[in-house]
């Protein structure tokens, strides 16, 4: 999807003068960015080959991920520099905690997952690593760090969502609606906004901070791929050493 690149944003600009910061983040995240956006789980959502057990496993983990993502958005609303940015972020937070929350309840019911299970489910290792990364970056980091995590998560879902939306919808409503949620115009507009926000604030940050953002986006991409892998196969290999804490 992206051509891998491992230099600085300045180096990237030298190869492509009108390159966007967000394109650099994706290029620096290879091969994980492509693994996440093309994972077999994401294709199974749209092509009728999704095993019910894998999807139930996925939704239970994703419900706890979404809870941490809502907290991340809270931190971002607090740190956003302008009313316009706070407005965009809080509108998405409202969607996440209403319509999308309702989607989870209806889907759990259809899949026979009881509230006792999804409300008290312990996070698996990948979801725990996500929680740690999201909450540390958005809670302790500067605005751009939390925004980088949000960008990766939502851009990844827009990418597979738009691709799967080209196919006829699967029969199961929870698959069809999961595609629609991530392929609608409003979601595309939100992801475009996050990209514009990033491309406005990040090119003027110090080189070291830009490197930190590239590493965060790369780590998020690897976790997104591992999250799909873990749901689809019931297990995922630990992330490579570059992502282990010193
Ligand atoms: C793991 C994961 N990443 C991103 C999204 C999109 O919000 C999601 N629902 N779950």
Q: Is the pLDDT of residue 1 over 70?
A: no
User: For residue 185, is it within any domain?
Assistant: yes
Can you give the residue range of the structural domain that contains 51? Answer: 31-235
User: How many CB atoms lie under 10 A from the CB of residue 200?
Assistant: 12
Number of independent structural domains in the chain = 1
Q: Is 221 helix (H, G, I), strand (E, B) or coil?
A: helix
User: For residue 148, is it within any domain?
Assistant: yes
User: For residue 17, is it within any domain?
Assistant: no
Ligand 1, CB cutoff 6 Å, lining residues: 62, 65-66, 69, 153-154, 157, 224, 227
Q: Are 43 and 20 in contact (CB under 8 A)?
A: no
The full DSSP string for 108-155 is HHHHT--HHHHHHPPPPHHHHHHHHHHHHHHHHS-HHHHHHHHHHHHH
197 is annotated as an active-site residue: no
For residue 132, give the CATH number of its domain: 1.20.910.10
Model pLDDT for residues 150-161, shown as the tens digit of each residue? 999 999 999 999
Model pLDDT for residues 58-102, shown as the tens digit of each residue? 999 999 999 999 999 999 999 999 999 999 999 999 999 999 999
User: For residue 230, is it within any domain?
Assistant: yes
The full DSSP string for 93-111 is HHHHHTHHHHHHHHHHHHH
User: For residue 241, is it within any domain?
Assistant: no
Model pLDDT for residues 3-61, shown as the tens digit of each residue? 899 999 999 999 988 899 999 999 999 999 999 999 999 999 999 899 999 999 999 99
244 pLDDT band (50/70/90 cuts)? Answer: confident
User: For residue 245, is it within any domain?
Assistant: no
From 35, 61, 224, 229, the catalytic residue:
224
pLDDT of residue 170: 97
User: For residue 10, is it within any domain?
Assistant: no
pLDDT of residue 218: 98
* Tokens read off for 213: 């953002």
DSSP 238: P
Q: Are 67 and 104 in contact (CB under 8 A)?
A: no
pLDDT of residue 2: 80
| Nearest atom (ligand 1) to Cα of 130 | 1
* CA 40 to centroid of ligand 1, rounded, Å: 16
Work out the mean pLDDT of the chain and round it to a whole number: 96
User: For residue 215, is it within any domain?
Assistant: yes
pLDDT of residue 17: 84
């Amino acid at each position: 999807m992206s051509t891998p690149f491992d230099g600085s944003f300045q180096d990237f600009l030298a190869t492509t003068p009108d390159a966007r910061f967000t394109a650099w983040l994706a290029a620096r995240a290879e091969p994980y960015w492509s693994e996440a956006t093309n994972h077999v789980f994401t294709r199974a959502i749209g092509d009728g080959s999704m095993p019910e057990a894998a999807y139930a496993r996925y939704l239970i983990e994703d419900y706890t991920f979404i809870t941490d993502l809502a907290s991340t958005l809270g931190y971002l609303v607090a740190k956003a520099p302008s009313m316009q940015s706070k407005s965009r972020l809080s509108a998405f937070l409202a969607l996440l905690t209403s319509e999308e929350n309702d989607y989870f309840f209806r889907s759990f019911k259809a899949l026979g997952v009881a509230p006792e299970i999804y409300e008290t489910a312990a996070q698996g290792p990948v979801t725990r690593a996500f929680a740690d990364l999201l909450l540390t970056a958005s809670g302790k980091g500067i605005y751009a760090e939390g925004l980088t995590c949000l960008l990766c998560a939502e851009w990844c879902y827009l990418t597979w969502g738009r691709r799967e939306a080209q196919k006829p919808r699967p029969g199961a409503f929870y698959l069809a609606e999961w595609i629609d949620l991530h392929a609608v115009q409003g979601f595309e507009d939100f992801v475009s906004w996050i990209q514009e926000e990033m491309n406005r604030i990040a090119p003027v940050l110090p080189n070291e901070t830009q490197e930190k953002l590239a590493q965060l986006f790369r780590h998020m991409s690897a976790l997104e791929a591992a999250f799909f892998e873990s749901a689809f196969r019931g297990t995922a290999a630990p992330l490579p050493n570059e992502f282990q804490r010193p």
